[in-house]
Amino acid sequence: MTQSAARASFAAVFGSVLVRDLTLAWRRRTDALLPLAFFVVAISLFPLGVGPEPGMLRDMAPGVVWVCALLASMLSVGSLFAADLADGSLEQMLLAPQSAIALTLAKCAAHWILSGVPLIATAPLIGLLFGMSGPALLALVAGLLLGTPILSLLGALGAALTLGLRSSGMLLILIVLPLAIPTLIFGAGAVGTIDAGMSASGHFSLLGALLISTAMGAPWAIAAALRISTE
């Protein structure tokens, strides 16, 4: 197979899997909206628990948003491959040599579109609820744009490693949480740096480096884990 044909095959598999997952999610819109509902409800409860003091809410807002974003992302990633494994379609999609990486990237992209993008769109409203300033809101959204794809990739890796296991939800959290901690630290730290009147370019550079390294390594690890789970 020539290089151009391989690229065309990769793009065809990626596009078909992405459209398939988005179409299935549209048919189950209630389930697809569950992570967003959890994100909004969980964040809305924090002012009730810690009190309405504006300074405290403003200081804790970045960490609260990032932790809730991680939990909301993990809420839906557990079923990322389970349905395809149950109906046998996962084995069929893994048969072609070009399909494994395209499959993992497409599923991660679909998960990010369904869970990450709504969280990013909702973040400014959440920031206003916590009294964040305009520059801090921009830093929060920019950090989420860089960080939520990392959460989707790491979540997919955890889902592939725990596929078909009992108590997979708890194992998924135990695997993904340590890997996601740097993303949470740099994402929340960028907002804190802006509030302190300094540049957050270092935090964004580190988030970008994490995104590039995760995007380069995670799809191959996910594909290998899926092959092991289906054997």
pLDDT averaged over every residue in the chain: 85
Cβ–Cβ under 8 Å, residues 119 and 148: yes
Distances in Å between the Cα of 190 and the Cα atoms of 55, 110, 118, 140, 157 are: 18, 27, 21, 8, 26
pLDDT for residue 165: 76
State both tokens at 201.
Answer: 């370019």
CA 29 – CA 148 distance, rounded (Å): 21
pLDDT digits (tens, 9 = 90+) for 32-63: 788 888 888 888 888 777 777 777 888 888 88
Q: What is the pTM of this model?
A: 0.89
Look at residue 186 in the predicted model and tell me its pLDDT.
93
Q: Where are the beta strands (DSSP E) in 50-199?
A: none
pLDDT of 96 reads 65
Structural contact between residues 69 and 148, judged by C-beta atoms closer than 8 angstroms: yes
Question: How many whole angstroms separate alpha carbon 227 and alpha carbon 221?
Answer: 10
User: Is residue 1's pLDDT more than 60?
Assistant: no
Locate 134 and state its tokens.
Answer: 């305009």
